[in-house]
């Protein structure tokens, strides 16, 4: 695989992980980076199902919080890195910073450090994340902080990604090849005020 950064976004059960794993099979030396923690029986079953589905030829690195520190020493061994997923990583970081008023900014800084590390390597990176902006507004303050922070992380990663794939019901749209680009790159031209609009 050629060096590139691929972000795969979608809702729950949209096919994100299965698609990411199919992409990663094109690599020769693959590292699977897992951010999930087995905190309950349901999560233990999900983790076991993911492990069963993955290629036995892949190496696995389990790191829920400090991705840059865990990845830096081993990256020269791989041509493909699959990180599944940013969603749980942001959740883990937010929970570890629960009483920190600056948690969101610190998480965005961590995401920026991860992007910088990715650019230093010669590997293809496949990052999986949930698109949380299409769901119900969370009822708790922590839930809303999580949704907002993950949305910002997704935007930051998408702006630097070579390809951004949106998954829905097992179907994939590659957004950048369709002309999608960050809103910060749009030229809106001068803002005009229509003085007669209110008349």
Measured at the CA of 47, the angle between CA 41 and CA 49, to 5 degrees, comes to 105
Residue 96 burial (CB count, 10 A)? 14
21 is catalytic: no
Instruction: Out of 25, 50, 160, 163, pick the active-site residue.
Output: 50
CA atoms within 13 A on the CB side of 54: 23
- Alpha-carbon distance of 89 to 84, in angstroms, equals 9
- In the chain, DSSP assigns E strands to 5-10, 30-34, 59-62, 80-84, 124-130, 163-168, 171-174
Residues recognised as catalytic:
50
């Amino acid at each position: 695989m050629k060096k590139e950064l691929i972000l795969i976004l979608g809702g729950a059960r949209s096919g994100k992980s299965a698609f990411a794993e199919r992409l990663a099979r094109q690599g020769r030396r693959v590292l699977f980076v897992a951010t999930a923690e087995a905190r309950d029986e349901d999560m233990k079953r999900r983790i076991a199902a993911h492990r069963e589905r993955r290629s036995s030829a892949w190496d696995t690195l389990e790191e829920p919080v400090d991705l840059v520190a865990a990845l830096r020493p081993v990256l020269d061994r791989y041509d493909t890195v699959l990180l599944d997923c940013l969603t749980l990583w942001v959740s883990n970081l937010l929970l570890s910073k629960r009483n920190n008023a600056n948690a969101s900014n610190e998480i965005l800084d961590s995401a920026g450090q991860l992007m910088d590390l990715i650019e230093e390597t010669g590997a293809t990176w496949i990052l999986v994340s949930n698109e949380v902006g299409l769901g119900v507004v969370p009822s708790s303050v922590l839930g809303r902080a999580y949704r907002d922070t993950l949305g910002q992380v997704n935007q930051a990663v998408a702006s630097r990604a070579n390809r951004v794939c949106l998954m829905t019901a097992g179907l994939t749209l590659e957004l950048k090849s369709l002309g999608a680009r960050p809103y910060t790159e749009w030229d809106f031209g001068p803002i005009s005020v229509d003085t007669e609009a209110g008349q």
